């Protein structure tokens, strides 16, 4: 795979500064990484503007910036959530013989951060790393419902793609559905992302009682009834939340 040169150089600078605990001068970065001084300065200036790097005013040394702390915290929380949830998801998948997924909302996108496939030969497959629009499906709508109003309105200001005849693209109707989801504590997908596939989703809460993720189970509409799955998914989400420190 061919690397983008500027990004490869930025990555080399990140690794260099990570090891240089007290920071490093431009001439050191340039010489040790064999990057022309003018190129290194241009990259570092850009990284400073993006808060990935800081220039100490008195020493003129470059150090890693505060953006890495925010990224590290986000990654740490995601990994902790996924690791905590996985045993409960495996148990639920084995019990229901269905695929179970765990999703989070970041910016305008729903990310599947963990997935346990159904043990059946014929199954719905949703791989970790799959992304969805937040207005589509059970997990997306649930996570959107628990956003603060400002974030929700920002997301809903974007065009809403219609994937099936059942996808809700009318914003006023969607807001009404999101209100119902928050009041009821769960969300449904009524073949909104794929015809023939429905889903149920319940929220996962962290120790501060914030909704940090969504457990959902997609299933073939023609083969399963919602009531067969409802309590099992709800209890799985509750158990994950309790394992994360929520008092539910």
Distance of alpha carbon 244 from alpha carbon 247, whole angstroms: 9
Kindly state whether residues 89 and 49 are assigned to the same domain: no
Backbone angles phi, psi at 55, to 5 degrees: -110, 115
**Residue-level pLDDT at 78:** 65
Residue 118 CB partners (closer than 8 Å, separation 6+): 93, 97, 98, 99, 124
97 C-beta neighbours (distance < 10 Å), count: 12
Residues 221 and 112 grouped into a single domain: yes
Q: Could you tell me if residue 248 is inside a domain?
A: no
Same domain, 120 and 167: yes
Domains identified in the chain, total number = 2
Q: Are residues 23 and 141 in the same domain?
A: no
Model pTM above 0.75: no
Same domain, 153 and 180: yes
Same domain for 230 and 135? yes
Among 211, 209, 237, residue whose Cα is nearest residue 105: 211
Residue 71 lies in a domain: no
Long-range contacts of 162-166 (CB under 8 A, 24+ apart): 163/136, 163/192, 163/193, 163/194, 164/191, 164/192, 164/193, 164/194, 164/195, 165/195, 166/190, 166/191, 166/192, 166/195
Distance CA 130, CA 145 (A): 20
Taking CA atoms, 56 is separated from 6, 52, 59, 65, 147, in Å, by: 23, 13, 6, 10, 37
Residues 202 and 105 in one domain: yes
Q: Of 65, 96, 116, which marks where a domain is finished?
A: 65
Is 70 inside a domain boundary?
A: no
Domain membership flag for residue 82 = yes
Whether residue 64 contacts residue 54, with contact meaning beta carbons closer than 8 Å, is answered with yes
Does a structural domain hold residue 182? yes
Residues 50 and 130 placed together within one structural domain of the fold:
no
Residues 59 and 91 placed together within one structural domain of the fold: no
Smallest CA-to-CA distance from 200 within 214, 179, 211 is with 214
Are 154 and 194 members of one domain? yes
Give the CATH number of the domain where residue 141 resides: 3.30.450.40
Beta strand ranges found along 136-175 (DSSP E): none
Could you report the average pLDDT of every consecutive run of 10 residues in the chain (248 residues)? 84 91 91 94 94 90 87 70 91 95 89 89 75 91 93 89 93 94 96 94 90 94 93 96 87
Q: What is the CATH number of the domain that holds 29?
A: 1.10.10.10
pLDDT at 27: 94
219 plus 144 within the same structural domain: yes
Residue 120, domain extent: 76-243
20 closest CA partner among 76, 53, 54, 62: 62
Beta bridge partners of 220: 197
């Amino acid at each position: 795979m061919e690397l983008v040169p500027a990004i490869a150089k930025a990555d080399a600078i990140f690794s260099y500064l990570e090891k240089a605990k007290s920071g490093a001068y431009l001439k050191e970065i340039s010489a040790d990484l064999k990057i022309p001084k003018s190129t290194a300065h241009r990259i570092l200036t850009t990284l400073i503007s993006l808060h990935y790097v800081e220039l100490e005013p008195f020493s003129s040394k470059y150090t890693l910036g505060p953006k890495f702390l925010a990224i590290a915290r986000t990654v740490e929380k995601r990994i902790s959530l996924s690791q905590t949830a996985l045993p409960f998801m495996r148990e639920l998948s084995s019990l229901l013989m269905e695929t179970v997924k765990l999703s989070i909302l970041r910016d305008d996108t729903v990310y599947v951060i963990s997935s346990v496939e159904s043990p059946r030969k014929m199954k719905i497959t949703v791989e970790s790393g799959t992304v969805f629009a937040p207005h589509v499906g059970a997990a997306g709508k649930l996570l959107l419902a628990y956003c603060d109003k400002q974030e929700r309105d920002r997301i809903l200001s974007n065009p809403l793609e219609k994937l099936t005849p059942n996808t809700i693209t009318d914003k006023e109707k969607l807001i009404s559905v999101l209100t119902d989801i928050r009041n009821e504590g769960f969300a449904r997908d009524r073949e909104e992302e794929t015809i023939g596939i429905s889903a149920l989703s319940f929220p996962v809460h962290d120790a501060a009682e914030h909704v940090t993720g969504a457990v959902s189970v997609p299933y073939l509409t023609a083969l399963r009834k919602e009531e067969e799955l409802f309590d099992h998914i709800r209890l799985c989400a509750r158990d994950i939340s309790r394992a994360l420190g929520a008092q539910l």
